[in-house]
Chain A
Amino acid sequence: QVQLVQSGAEVKKPGASVKVSCKASGYIFTGYYFHWVRQAPGQGLEWMGWINPSSGGTHYAQKFQGWVTLTRDTSISTAYMELSRLKSDDTAVYYCARDLGMIGEPKYYFDSWGQGTLVTVSS
């Protein structure tokens, strides 16, 4: 079955960077887009961007352009999200999620999710 397993919780100081990993199993890694979504404590969901794990192509939500970097390592079926210049309001749970449709164009439906990674930004 499809599984997405994320790296563990992180505590970072303002201005630092964080890199979260998402290891996929149970399907062909390069066959589906990956998205990243975050959720601040007690708040709603916020879409950050996607990566095409086959080509490495990316698209970011306007808010996150220049600030988030999505990458992948196909040899270990793992996607990464790196967020730089952290601020306190970046404290959130960060999720990776697989797109519902196979590679072509992303459908923006997230049918499998990682367990989430809590990133806490505090001085």
Chain B
Amino acid sequence: QSALTQPASVSGSPGQSITISCSGTSTNVGAYNSVSWYQQHPGEAPKLIIYDVNNRPSGVSNRFSGSKSDNTASLTISGVQAEDEADYYCSSYSRNSREVFGGGTKLTVL
């Protein structure tokens, strides 16, 4: 049971926009602007794509964006491409546990 709740799967056609939600509580997502998102392709290590809710590391496509409202964070991928098919994990600083992750969302590009 992960501390943060994500949908198990989402799908979209190339060129569409998709959004992945990440639901937390007032002790993690709702309490801090310390939300991050990771992309993980099969057999690879995760890759940081969003930090501080909506900042992108250098080299990450601007098709990826993040937001937060109350206890829920969201990752939006604009103009989804085949290469975006992967697992996505949200993460947040937590008052109780320092760092917690969501259970992951599998993105399928149709």
Contacts and interface: CB of A to CB of B under 8 A. Distances in A.
Interface stretch (B9-17, B63-71, B76-84, B99-107): B99-107
Contacts of B98: 47, 59, 61, 108
A113 to B, nearest CB: 4
Contacts of B38: 45, 110
B48 A100 contact: yes
Interface string A99-123: 0100000011111011110000000
B101 A110 contact: no
A44 B93 contact: no
B interface secondary structure, majority = strand
Contact-size category for B: 20 to 34
A112 to B, nearest CB: 8
A109 B101 contact: no
B93 A110 contact: no
The 7 closest A-B pairs by CB, nearest first: A113-B45, A47-B99, A109-B51, A45-B101, A44-B104, A44-B103, A108-B99
Given A107-B34, A107-B51, 19 more contacts: A44-B102, A44-B104, A45-B46, A45-B104, A47-B91, A47-B99, A59-B98, A61-B98, A95-B45, A100-B51, A100-B57, A108-B34, A108-B36, A108-B99, A109-B52, A110-B38, A114-B45, A115-B45, A116-B45
